[in-house]
Amino acid sequence: MAAGIVLEKMLMLVLLMLIGFGCAKAGWIDSAFSQKASRLVMNVFLPATILNAALGGAGSMTRGELAVAAAAVFVMFLLGGGLGWLAARILPFQGRDRSVAWLSVFFMNNMFIGFPVVQALFGDRAVFCASLSNLPFNLLLYTVGVASLRAGEGRGKLRFREILTPPLLATLAAVVIFLTGLTLPALAADTLSALGAVTVPMSMVVVGVSLSHVPMKQALLDGRSWGVSLVRLLLCPLAAWLVLGLFLPGDSLTLGVLVIISACPSAAMITILSVRFGADDALASKINFLSTILCAVTLPVITWLLL
């Protein structure tokens, strides 16, 4: 992919983040608005984007390619989980801090960062492929991830319905649409398209607002957070490119999408679950903040070098 196109798209996304950051610092957007906007993106705009991609035929993907892409997504998460496990033991972490570090590498911000970047770089047709990452993300985060954070403390109860997030349900519906060739009336399809168009700007603005609430100095001076962030942003996409490239063509859209998803920062859900289950949410917040800031630099570099 041409470096100029990547840089231009990433600069646009960074500018959108800065707009959200600036609005929060100016007091135009408060935490309550940000939380509601985040729910709106998660529950309405992202599902609409996923469904719209499936209605568009998911590009030229065949059923065989869909099966390969689904398998590749699970491999991508296994690679991230393995690298996170190593990082959490090599770096000076103890107790449940080790779990926070592991999960911060294991799980990426595929929805608020990954989907908008994929859509901006590859177009709507690639969002369906990216949405497949919702399947292992939810299944693994709310089973393996929660078990690790709880660590026998018994804090908080996990409800099955929490796994069935709107983006996950939209992904399952999108797979059905893709396999059956189902079509919707023009009015419904146009509505989904209009809602999906809001995903990129709203997602990046929400990310910018969330960054404004994290103590910047503490994050920048935390060496452990730097180590985890660099593993998440550099080693994960490199491993995905090397391993998945063995059975996916170098010019494959699927490979490009999964490398982008692998290069995303730590998932904000790690902070939320750390609060809920009594782990170190301050550490999770610093990793999330630092990795999100750094990805504005690392993501264009990874895309330029590997794709």
pLDDT by residue, tens only, the chain of 307 residues? 555 666 777 778 788 888 988 998 898 987 778 778 888 888 898 888 888 877 765 556 777 888 899 999 999 999 999 999 999 999 999 888 999 999 999 999 998 888 888 888 888 778 888 889 988 998 888 888 888 887 655 455 556 666 778 888 888 888 888 888 888 888 998 999 899 888 888 888 888 887 787 777 888 889 999 999 999 999 999 999 999 999 887 668 899 999 999 999 999 888 878 877 777 778 888 898 899 889 888 988 898 888 7
Given this model, what pLDDT does residue 291 score? 93
b/e burial code for range 119-142 (CB count within 10 A of at least 16 → b) = bbbbebbbbbbbbbbbbbbbebbb
What is the phi/psi pair of residue 62, to 5°?
Answer: -95, 175
Given this model, what pLDDT does residue 62 score? 78
What is the phi/psi pair of residue 238, to 5°?
Answer: -65, -45
Q: Residue 62: CB partners within 8 Å, gap ≥ 6? A: none
Distance of CA 182 to the CA centre of its chain: 28
DSSP helix/strand/coil, 266: strand
- In angstroms, the CA 202 to CA 33 distance is 12
Given this model, what pLDDT does residue 157 score? 57
> Which amino acid is it at 34?
S
- In angstroms, the CA 257 to CA 238 distance is 13
Cβ atoms within 10 Å, residue 169 = 14
- In angstroms, the CA 78 to CA 101 distance is 16
Given this model, what pLDDT does residue 34 score? 76
- In angstroms, the CA 282 to CA 180 distance is 46
Cβ atoms within 10 Å, residue 231 = 23
Given this model, what pLDDT does residue 162 score? 67
Given this model, what pLDDT does residue 214 score? 76
Bridge partner list, 108:
266
- In angstroms, the CA 108 to CA 105 distance is 7
Alpha-helical runs (H) found in 28-185: 31-40, 46-55, 63-90, 95-106, 115-122, 125-131, 134-140, 146-150, 160-163, 166-180
Given this model, what pLDDT does residue 253 score? 87
Given this model, what pLDDT does residue 36 score? 84
Given this model, what pLDDT does residue 251 score? 66
Given this model, what pLDDT does residue 17 score? 82
> Which amino acid is it at 282?
A
Given this model, what pLDDT does residue 80 score? 97
Cα distances (angstroms) measured from residue 276 to each of 35, 157, 158, 164, 281: 17, 9, 10, 18, 9
Q: How many residues does the chain have?
A: 307
- In angstroms, the CA 85 to CA 242 distance is 19
- In angstroms, the CA 70 to CA 223 distance is 35
